[in-house]
Amino acid sequence: MGVDLVSGAPLFLDITFPGLESLPAPGEERYAEDLVVAPGGGAITAIGAARLGLSVAAAGPLGNDYAGRLIRASLADEGIAWVGRTVERTATTVVLPADGDRAMVTFDPADEVTAVQLAACEPRAAVVGLEQIELVPEVAAAYVATGDADARRGAGTLPSGLAGVRALLTNEREALMLTGRTDVADAARELAEHTPCVVVTRGAQGALAVADGELVSPPGRPADPVDTTGAGDLFAAAYIWADLAGLSLNERLRWAVLYAALSVGVPTAVAGAKNLAALVAAAAEFDLAIPAGRLSGSLEDGER
């Protein structure tokens, strides 16, 4: 097949209740202003990367149910090849945005992607979870994006395969959980002992990264959040896009921070995921210039 990026992360259907009055306590009922259904999980990263111009495949399993059919149709509309297997039921998350953040309730049948499915895509790069590192083809650049469940399972027991990945992408809460640290910079430095590059997203405060002993921390971007769900997944999409283009670590972070910030003003990450033209237009407002001829660059063949 030959794609720029394959997403091996689980694919979810997100059911979002925008404009929620507040989170209900046990026995209470609260009302939302709307109800929105959209792809979630690994589908968000795949859609963001595709809108930025990468050729993308998604390998997560999907059920032959309403949720699975909707996600498959959405991926097809974005030009994304679905190469996963059909399972009984599709993972689903109810998203409750409130107070600038969100709460989530998830049903996950825990069906996994396989190494064969990832390799069949002949990808330049793959993004997977902590427990899927060994599934990435040797010729592909491996990006590991953690989630809450990954962080809880991986606390104190990080897999040895991290030494061979291109970058570990996590958020502040997960980084602290993985390391037991109380300071995010200390947590990033500890994680960097296991992998060449650690990137920690920090919401409105931007992101920080540690690579080759150096800590890089560009500022956040102003945003008026409506729904922050999936902002980290879109950050990952833009970071990988910028890395495949050959941009520096600081540039990768700045582009990814901007892309994630642009997404949170509307319900669902898919609705907020900008295309390349919109990202470039927004970048001009923040003096973020595109280096001439760089956005068509690539990693060297086989570089990890």
Q: CA separation (Å) from 171 to 46, 85, 148, 200, 218?
A: 19, 29, 9, 5, 15
Strand partners, 53: none
In a domain, 228, yes or no: yes
In a domain, 277, yes or no: yes
Q: Is the pLDDT of residue 22 over 80?
A: yes
pLDDT for the residue 291: 58
The CATH number of residue 66's host domain is 3.40.1190.20
pLDDT for the residue 294: 53
Q: How far apart are CA 117 and CA 131, in angstroms?
A: 16
Average pLDDT over residues 2-18: 95
Q: Is the pLDDT of residue 148 over 90?
A: no
In a domain, 295, yes or no: no
Q: Is the pLDDT of residue 303 over 60?
A: no
Question: What single-letter amino acid sits at 197?
Answer: C
Q: Is the pLDDT of residue 300 over 60?
A: no
Q: Contact 70/94 with Cβ under 8 angstroms?
A: no
**Which structural domain range is residue 223 located in?**
5-21+33-285
pLDDT confidence bin for 147, thresholds 50/70/90: confident
Mean pLDDT of the chain: 91
Give the count of domains, the chain: 1
Q: Is the pLDDT of residue 198 over 80?
A: yes
Average pLDDT over residues 254-267: 95
In a domain, 234, yes or no: yes
Q: Is the pLDDT of residue 243 over 90?
A: yes
Q: What is the pLDDT of residues 157-184, one digit of tens each?
A: 777 789 999 999 999 999 999 999 999 9
Q: Could you tell me the two tokens for 156?
A: 């104190």
SS3 call for 289: coil
**pTM of the full structure:** 0.92
Q: What is the pLDDT of residues 266-295, one digit of tens each?
A: 999 999 999 999 999 999 887 787 655 555
In a domain, 231, yes or no: yes
Average pLDDT over residues 66-78: 98
In a domain, 293, yes or no: no
Q: Is the pLDDT of residue 301 over 70?
A: no
In a domain, 100, yes or no: yes
pLDDT for the residue 102: 85
DSSP string, 1-40: ---SEEE-SPEEEEEE-TT-SSPPPTT-----S--EEEEE
In a domain, 131, yes or no: yes
